[in-house]
Amino acid sequence: MLLVNQIRENFDGVLAGLQKRNFPNAETVLNQAVELDELRKSSQSERDQIQSEMNAISKEIGVLMREGKAEEAVKIKEKTADLKVHSKNLEDQNAKVEEELLALLYTIPNIPHFSVPAGKSAEDNQVVLESGAIPDLYDGKLPHWDLIKKYDIIDFDLGVKITGAGFPVYKGKGARLQRALINFFLDEALDQGYYEIQPPILVNEDSGFGTGQLPDKEGQMYYADADKLYLIPTGEVPITNIYRDVILSESDLPIKNVGHSPCFRREAGSWGAHVRGLNRLHQFDKVEIVQITHPDKSYETLESMSSYVQGLLQKLELPYRVLRLCGGDMGFTSALTYDMEVYSAAQERWLEVSSVSNFETYQSNRLKLRFRGADKKTQLAHSLNGSALALPRIVASILENNQTPDGINMPKVLHPYLGFDKIS
C-alpha cells in the first residue's frame, strides 16, 4: 500500500507510475487520497485544539474549586460537556474518513520501478536474456498431455471424478517426479542459506490484505465461508505474514525463507492448448522463496534471486528466457518483476514457471513490517518473493523436452532423488 506522504511529496512521479500501469482515472484517485488525508488532518487538528481547551478548562475548574467558587466552576463545566460532544462527533467523522482513505489506498497498485517498460500486455514484456539450446525432437513427438496417458503417470480423469477439472492425480513415477522436484528445490534453497518454513495452507483475511491478495484477487481465491479462511494462492502469503506487526533489528536482515506448499487458484482461464494439461491448474505444488531486506539492498537481492532461479533451470537442463514485465502485465503489488519461462519443445511455445518480484515497501506498509536501525529509529523493510519453482509447467517441459521413441529421460540432477533415470 502506498503512503499518503509518498503521493503528496511526489504526486507527478506517482501519477506517471500509475499511468505506466494503465491504471484508470489515476489523477482523480490520487487527488481523492490527498483530499481525504487533508480532511483527516484538519479534523484531527480540531480535536487536538478542543482537547487542549478542555485541559485548560479543567485546570481552571480546579483553581475555582480551591478558591471556593463552586458556582462559577459548575458554569464552566457545562461548557466542557459541549466540547466533549463536539470532540466525539469529530472522532466519529475522523474514523469514517480514515476508513474511506484506507479503502481507497487499497485500490491503488504499487508504483513501477523506473526500469519497468511501458506496455499494456504480455506482448510488451522485455526479453532480458535467453539461455540453453532448444531440443530437436524426433518425428512423432507428443505434448505432455499425451505422454502422461502413454506412460500412465498423471490422471486428469480421475481428478475430475474425485474433485473436478484442474485437480490431477499423480501416480507412480509421476508422483515420484513431483516429490523429487520438491526435495531438489528445497535442498538447493537450503544450500543457499534459506531457512525452511512449512506454512499453513489456509490464511485469514488480515493475511490476505497484508500481502495484497485482498481485495485485488478475492475472486481468484478459494474461500472457506464457515471459518472465513482462504486457501493460499501461493506460499508467499503465509510466509511473509510471519512478519506482520513485527519490528525487526537491522542486524536481522536479510531474512531468507523457503517453503513448499500446495497452491490453490480458482481462476478459470480460457480454452485452448495453452491452458491444456498441466499448463493451468486449480491446485499445484510450488516451492517459494521469500526475503525481507534493507531498502538499500533490495534490488541487489532481486538480481540475486533471479540468478538463483536461473541456476535451478540450468541444472534441470531446460532452455529458458528471462522477461522484465511491462507496466500493464505486472502484479498489483510489485515494483519490478522478472518472469522465467522455459521452452516446451513439443508445444513449441514458452511457458512461465517463475516470477521473482520486489515489492519495495508496498507489502511492508500493509503488514506494518519494520526494522530498527542503529539510530533506534524504525523504517519499513522491503519484501521480495519468487517461485523456485512452480512444478506443473516444469514437469510438462521435462516430459516434453526429454522424450525419445522409447521413453522419457530424466535430468541427471534428479536421478538421486528419483531412484530411476527414465520413464518408460
Give the containing element (helix H, strand E) for 423.
strand 422-423
Question: Are 392 and 279 contacting, i.e. CB atoms less than 8 angstroms apart?
Answer: yes
Task: Determine if residue 265 is labeled as part of a ligand binding site.
Answer: yes
Task: Determine if residue 258 is labeled as part of a ligand binding site.
Answer: no
Q: 351, 354, 355, 333: which is closest to 342 by C-alpha? A: 351
How far, in Å, CA of 411 to CA of 285, rounded? 19
DSSP designation for 220:
G
Task: Determine if residue 40 is labeled as part of a ligand binding site.
Answer: no
Task: Determine if residue 334 is labeled as part of a ligand binding site.
Answer: no
How far, in Å, CA of 170 to CA of 151, rounded? 12
Question: Are 154 and 363 contacting, i.e. CB atoms less than 8 angstroms apart?
Answer: no
- CA dist 66 to 52, 59, 70, 119, 357, Å? 22, 11, 9, 74, 67
- Residue whose C-alpha cell is 505434448: 143
DSSP designation for 111:
P
How far, in Å, CA of 236 to CA of 289, rounded? 8
- Residue whose C-alpha cell is 534453497: 189
Give the containing element (helix H, strand E) for 352.
strand 349-358
- Residue 401 burial (CB count, 10 A): 25
Buried b (16+ CB within 10 A) or exposed e, 343-366: bbbbbeebbebbbbbbbbbbbbbb
- Residue whose C-alpha cell is 478542543: 50
Q: Up-side HSE of residue 364: CA atoms within 13 Å toward CB?
A: 26
- Sequence-separated (6 or more) residues with CB below 8 Å from residue 383: 240, 290, 291, 292, 293, 359, 363, 364, 367, 369
Quick check: bond before 254 cis, omega within 30?
A: yes
Question: Are 326 and 342 contacting, i.e. CB atoms less than 8 angstroms apart?
Answer: no
Task: Determine if residue 21 is labeled as part of a ligand binding site.
Answer: no
Quote the strand ranges of 104-194, DSSP E.
126-131, 154-155, 169-170
Task: Determine if residue 353 is labeled as part of a ligand binding site.
Answer: yes
DSSP designation for 381:
-
- Residue 87 burial (CB count, 10 A): 18
Residue list, annotated binding site: 234, 265-267, 288, 352-355, 385
Q: Please report, in range form, the residues annotated as the binding site for L-serine.
A: 234, 265, 288, 385
Known binding residues for ATP = 265-267, 352-355
